Amino acid sequence: MTPPVPTPEQIRRLEEAAAWRLRLQKEPAAEFSADYIAWIADIDNAAAMEAVGQGLSVVDAFGDSPELLAMRHQALSRLRKAGGGPVRRFRWGRAAAAGLAVTPTSSAAAALLVALFGAGLYHVALLQPDTYRTEIGERRVVALADGSQISMDSDTRILVDYSKTGRALTLSRGRARFDVAHDTSRPFTVAAGSETVVAVGTSFDVEKLGSTVLVTLIQGQVVVKDEQGHTSSARSAAQPHAAVSLTAGQQLVATAQAPQPAVSTADLQLAAAWEAGHLVFRDEPLDAVVARVNRYTEQPVRIDPAVAGIRISGVFNAGDVGSFVSALTAYEPVQATTNSSGGILLQPRL
C-alpha cells in the first residue's frame, strides 16, 4: 500500500521539529526556553518531534541501505507530484521567526525526515502510545505534551495514548499521581484493572495493588467507571458497577471480590506520603502492606497465609526492608526467615 503524502501543515510541523532537534543537540539548555516549552506543548508538534526521533533512528540504523534510499526517492517524487515543489523551497520562515537555527544542514535533515514522513513514520509515531516506567526504587515526574503531569512511584508502568479527541492512559502496574491540564474537548482517562477514571482538569492518585485498584481524588472531580473492556477474569461473570463520582478528599477502593467499590473519606496527607519516600499504614492487612513494601525491593518479601490478615499501622522509609521486618517481628506475632539467596519469609512466631 502506498503511504500517504503529508499535508502542508504536517510538513511545516516536521520542518520545525527537525530544526528544534538540531538546535537542542547544540544547545541542550534550549529545552527549558519559553519558546520550546510553548512549541512542544502542542500535541501535534510533540507527535512531529517523536516522528523526527524515529526517522533519525531509522537513518542511523539503515541509512545506506538501498531500501531506505529507494523509499526516500519515491516519497520525494510523490511529494513533488503532489505540488510540494523542490525540497530546497520548504518554508523555513516560521522556524526562523521562532528563533530556530536554520542552516543547510537543517534543510537536509528536514528533507530526509519529510521523505520518511511521507512513508508513514509520522502516522506510526502518532498512533503508537508512549510508555513510561520506573525501576524498583525509582520515582520520576513526567511532563506530558498538553501540560499535564504524572508523578510515578517505584516499579510503575504507564501507557499514554493521545489523540485529537481524547487522552487515554493505562496504569498497568504501580502507583502514580495525575495532575491534569484542563481540556473539555479531550477527556483524560486512566484505566487500571477493571476501573477507568475520567477527568478533565483535576489531580488524583491511582494505585494498582494486585487485583485491587485505589483512586484518591486530591482536587476537582472525577468519575470512575467499570469498563467491560478492562474487566478482570475474577469479575468477568459479574455486572459492571455503576459509574461513581468522587469529590476532593474521597477514595474509591475496587476489588475483584466485591461487586461494588467502597468509597470513603481519605487522609490526603497520608495518601501523598509516598511522594516523599514514606510508607504510611493505618490498620491495613499485612498482605497489602507487604505488596507495597515489595514495590521498592529486588528481593520480594513473602508471607505465610496464616499471617496475611494481621493488621499493621506504622510509618516506614520506602526501600528500607530491614527496618520494616525488624519492627514487624518486634511488635507482631511474626518471625522472619532468610534463605540462602537473601529472600525473606514471614511466618507465625513459634
Per-residue pLDDT reduced to its tens digit, 162-210: 888 889 999 999 999 999 998 888 889 999 988 999 987 899 999 998 8
Are 291 and 226 in a shared domain? no
Decide if 146 is inside a domain: yes
For 111-151, write each residue's pLDDT tens digit: 555 555 444 444 444 455 688 999 998 999 999 888 899 99
Q: Which domain holds residue 231?
A: 129-266
Instruction: Output the CA torsion sign for 266, 174, 143, 180.
Output: negative
* Phi, psi dihedrals of residue 2, rounded to the nearest 5°: -75, 125
Are 43 and 170 in a shared domain? no
CA distances 237 to 231, 233, 240, Å, are: 9, 8, 9
In order, the DSSP letters of 132-157 are: EE--TT--EEEE-TTS-EEEE-SS-E
- The Cβ-side half-sphere exposure at 180, using a 13 Å CA radius, reads 28
Are 170 and 75 in a shared domain? no
Residue 218 scores a pLDDT above 70: yes
Decide if 326 is inside a domain: yes
What CATH code is carried by the domain that includes residue 322? Answer: 3.55.50.30
The last residue of a domain, from among 95, 111, 126 = 126
Are 282 and 234 in a shared domain? no
Decide if 159 is inside a domain: yes
54 or 39: whose pLDDT is higher? 39
Are 102 and 161 in a shared domain? no
The Cα–Cα gap between 336 and 326 comes to 9
The last residue of a domain, from among 126, 146, 174 = 126
Q: Minimum mean pLDDT among 19-23, 36-40, 237-241, 326-330: which range?
A: 237-241
For 263-318, write each residue's pLDDT tens digit: 999 988 888 899 999 999 989 999 999 999 999 998 889 999 999 999 999 999 99
Looking at residue 185, what is its pLDDT?
83
CA distances 126 to 45, 61, 161, 194, Å, are: 10, 21, 9, 26
The Cα–Cα gap between 131 and 152 comes to 12
Are 63 and 173 in a shared domain? no
Looking at residue 285, what is its pLDDT?
94
Are 63 and 137 in a shared domain? no
Decide if 1 is inside a domain: no
Are 342 and 330 in a shared domain? yes
Are 139 and 252 in a shared domain? yes
Decide if 207 is inside a domain: yes
Residue 321 scores a pLDDT above 60: yes
For 9-29, write each residue's pLDDT tens digit: 777 787 788 788 878 888 888
For the chain, what is the mean pLDDT?
78
Are 74 and 135 in a shared domain? no
The Cα–Cα gap between 232 and 255 comes to 10
Interval 235-243 mean pLDDT: 63
DSSP-assigned letter for residue 318 = T
The number of domains in the chain is: 3
Decide if 2 is inside a domain: no
Are 120 and 136 in a shared domain? no
Are 68 and 191 in a shared domain? no
Q: Are residues 151 and 139 in contact, defined by beta-carbon separation less than 8 angstroms? A: yes
CA dihedral 254, 256, 259, 261 (to 10 degrees): 0
Decide if 249 is inside a domain: yes
The last residue of a domain, from among 69, 103, 126 = 126
